[in-house]
Structure 1
Amino acid sequence: MTPAGSGLRRSLGLGDAVVVGLGSMIGAGIFAALAPAARAASSGLLLALAVAAVVAYCNAMSSARLAVRYPASGGTYVYGRERLGEFWGVLAGWSFIVGKTASCAAMALTVGAYVWPEQAHVVAVAAVVALTAVNYGGIQKSAWLTRVIVGVVLAVLASVVVVCLGSGRSDAGRLDIGLSGGTDGVLQAAGLLFFAFAGYARIATLGEEVRDPRRTIARAIPLALGLTLVVYGCVAVAVLSVLGSGGLGQATAPLADAVRAAGLPGLAPVVRVGAAVAALGSLLALILGVSRTTLAMARDRHLPRALAAVHPRFQVPHRAELAVGVVVAVLAATVDVRGAIGFSSFGVLAYYAVANASAWTLDPSRTSRVVPALGLAGCVVLAFSLPVVSVVVGVGVLAVGVVAYGVRGQQMPR
């Protein structure tokens, strides 16, 4: 239970919730995930995008149904605990915190790589400090900044689509959908592209700060996901039409390379700025989500109880936000996390597997169980289709969480 007077302020409406979801999804993922996905899937990139979208849709619908029933901070940590038992809730929360902390560091380093490549770590740490301060000042400030970031990123992506499709170098023949990368390649690409979709959970983790959560969250999650899918589909088609799957797979900065190939190199610096801004938006939303899940787990003593404190003025989980900010800053300063996309995807897919299993228990009717069943199967298949290193590290990290839970259970008074 949440102690009286320690709840968070419900200040977000439908538009704010959708913007937070868009800021989480329409971020650096679309700038970073296309190239490795194209290398894995080859001509099956668009098919991989469709597979990732289907799994994301199932996860989103399951999350929305659960968020309506349990409108509190913590997302699937709360859902798993309430529907499946404490162990599954803790496993989901651990998966989310570890996976998304790695994503935070990756996004911070993405900012540094685009803004000042020679001092990427310094810029990354500065970005983490600045956005942690923004989050500390209250959820409305975060929502306002996210709205600005989303607007800038959408404008940049729209420019990329118009330039690529409007150029004389665009060729629909490059959009052929095949399986030259094999089924395994398509599934691996779908798992990598899932990284770019996995942001709608941020809406659910903010359940305690949304006005009329039963109505708002149920509408905000599918709206944000639908808009994101449209944007990603347009960008993927535009870039493929110019570079083809082979060129896209070899690109170091796919969208910037696409506008150069389309005959407008002057737009490339603008795309780089857009990528940096997008990474900032993702980082802002990620810190929000990780700190709220940390808050929920600290309330139940699965993390240090001190992290459950809520600021008396700003009504935000200030200690959890500061702790997350410190950990991410240390990682961004010391670790090369270029491989974090695969590891993050594994953790988040494990998180959503628990969400779908939880949604399965809401209604015994067959029709209501189709979506969570498909989502659960999709999460498991995509998670174990990721690169071997990502799977091994992911399983190891989850095992650490399981051991910690067991040790804590032994120490708790019976």
Structure 2
Amino acid sequence: MTYTPREIVATVALGLPAVLGAGVFAGFAPAAGLAGWWVLPALAISAFAALCSAFSTADQSHAYPDVGGGYGYVRAQLGVWPARLTASAHLLGRCAMAAAVALMFGAYVVPDQPLIGALALVAGTVLLGAVGFRFTVGVSVLVSLVVLGVLALVVASSFSIAPVPSAGETGTANELVGVAGLMFMAFAGFERITAPHRGERPHSASALKIAIPVLIGLSFVVYLVVGAGVLRQLGSARLALSPAPLRDALVAADASALVPLVQIAAAVAGVAALHFVLLSAHRTLTGLVEDGDLPTRLKPGVLTFAVVVGSALAITLMPIAIALGVAACSTLFYYAFTNASARVLLQNDRTWPMRTACLGLGLSVLLAMSTPVPALLISLAGLGAGTGLIGLTATLREKRAASRQHTPQARTPGRS
């Protein structure tokens, strides 16, 4: 199947708003605290891991077009329990990512009441989805232009004025791999194009063969340039303490007049990224219901409410640095299972060689295990608790179904 340049541009534009979220606006602060300037080469490792994982999800999406994301792929290829582990990792990662995006929005747009701003963003985004709003190609292009335009202004300002001498530098090269794991979440929105939702037109394999590297590559360049700009202007020590690095970089560069533009871009990017995150979590819950791992009587509205409650709890309980770490670690575990299932696809279902899935699997495990210890422990605990809860729910449902089958029907009185 052939593709046109217009199709490639549309596909990349559709994916960019899902990628340019909390990572570019807030991710550099905790990363700089761990590795300083080493965060920039760490981005290359993150991008490569994301590229391999994107290839795997794209192949599986074409092999199983009616299956709901990674949970469905793993269930079809590896079985029930690996799929439940995958679903737990994905749901925890989505809730943590929703918290990170919402807290980023609060820090930039409502700095006096960031928690209230974060919760308001979740409520507003859910209401937008409820009234039928969708990020079409046209809307996605507009969002991308706004965000990229403001990021360009931040970078230009950061490099146009000499920075104030920094009070010191933080981080070491020893944290290179850990920061690569932390920054993986900055690229994790690629499923917006590699695994479209039901009802959306799937992208052709030939178009994705170009669009995926372009999307990941463009995102990498954006993150690299923005990271270099804020690091130059603030220094790693000041950057590590900043709740809103792009805003503080503008203030330090004597460009405070541009701060409202950054707030607009943060708001637009926050809504776009959160919309994708919530929709992705809803799809996994829907798959669990359809396969009987959750009660089949659960309605879409109940699933939406569950996603909102999980996101609100994460917002309330996790500071943004922890939320970013848990989002990255849990998502990496999710892609470890997704890459593992992609390894056993038949050759006819492949666009990319099996070694890309092998690389994705190895990198996902390595980066997940290298994330900051608090994030790793929370992720492992959540993974265990979520998988156990899903398994228990499915077991109880099966027992009730079996008991109903073996219960003798009451006899209707009749003549003897």
Q: Would you say same fold, with TM above 0.5?
A: yes
Structure 2: tracts of 5 or more residues without a match: 1-6, 403-416
Give 2:276's aligned amino acid: A
Give 1:62's aligned amino acid: S
How far the C-alpha of 1:37 sits from its partner, in A, is 0.8
Question: Quick one: distance in 1 between partners of 2:389 and 2:184?
Answer: 28
Q: Does 1:344 align with 2:337?
A: no
Structure 1: tracts of 5 or more residues without a match: 1-12, 310-316
The residue correspondences of 1:18-37 to structure 2 (distance < 5 A) are: 18-37=12-31
**Residue 331 to residue 56, structure 1, CA distance change in 2 (3 Å):** closer
How far the C-alpha of 1:278 sits from its partner, in A, is 2.1
Question: Quick one: distance in 1 between partners of 2:275 and 2:94?
Answer: 12
Give 2:287's aligned amino acid: A
**Residue 254 to residue 50, structure 1, CA distance change in 2 (3 Å):** same
**Residue 209 to residue 147, structure 1, CA distance change in 2 (3 Å):** farther
Question: Quick one: distance in 1 between partners of 2:102 and 2:382?
Answer: 22
The residue correspondences of 1:69-84 to structure 2 (distance < 5 A) are: 69-84=63-78
**Residue 188 to residue 141, structure 1, CA distance change in 2 (3 Å):** closer
**Residue 244 to residue 116, structure 1, CA distance change in 2 (3 Å):** closer
Q: Which residue of 2 aligns with 1:8?
A: none
Mean Cα deviation higher: 296-305 or 244-253:
244-253
Give 1:199's aligned amino acid: G
Alignment size in residue pairs: 385
Mean Cα deviation higher: 104-113 or 242-251:
242-251
Q: Deviations over 1:100-144 (max 9, x none)?
A: 112213322322232223333333232222211221233645666
Give the one of 230, 233, 238 matched to 2:229. Answer: 238
Question: Quick one: distance in 1 between partners of 2:141 and 2:304?
Answer: 20
Give the one of 391, 401, 405 matched to 2:376. Answer: 391
Q: Which residue of 2 aligns with 1:258?
A: 249
Q: Which residue of 2 aligns with 1:324?
A: 307
Q: Which residue of 2 aligns with 1:203?
A: 193
What is the TM-score when the length of structure 1 is the normalising length? 0.83
Q: Does 1:52 align with 2:46?
A: yes
Q: Which residue of 1 aligns with 2:145?
A: 151
Give % identity.
35
Q: Does 1:224 align with 2:215?
A: yes
Give 1:340's aligned amino acid: A
SS in 2 for 1:305: coil
Is contact 2:294-2:393 (8 Å) kept?
Answer: no
Is contact 1:109-1:121 (8 Å) kept?
Answer: yes
Is contact 1:136-1:321 (8 Å) kept?
Answer: no
Computed over aligned residues only, the root mean square deviation of the Cα atoms, in angstroms, reads 3.0
Is contact 1:156-1:274 (8 Å) kept?
Answer: yes
Q: Deviations over 1:238-276 (max 9, x none)?
A: 333333444433434222222233332322343233223
Q: Which residue of 2 aligns with 1:112?
A: 106
**Residue 260 to residue 410, structure 1, CA distance change in 2 (3 Å):** closer
**Residue 156 to residue 296, structure 1, CA distance change in 2 (3 Å):** same
The structure having more radius of gyration, on CA atoms, is: 2
**Residue 276 to residue 318, structure 1, CA distance change in 2 (3 Å):** same
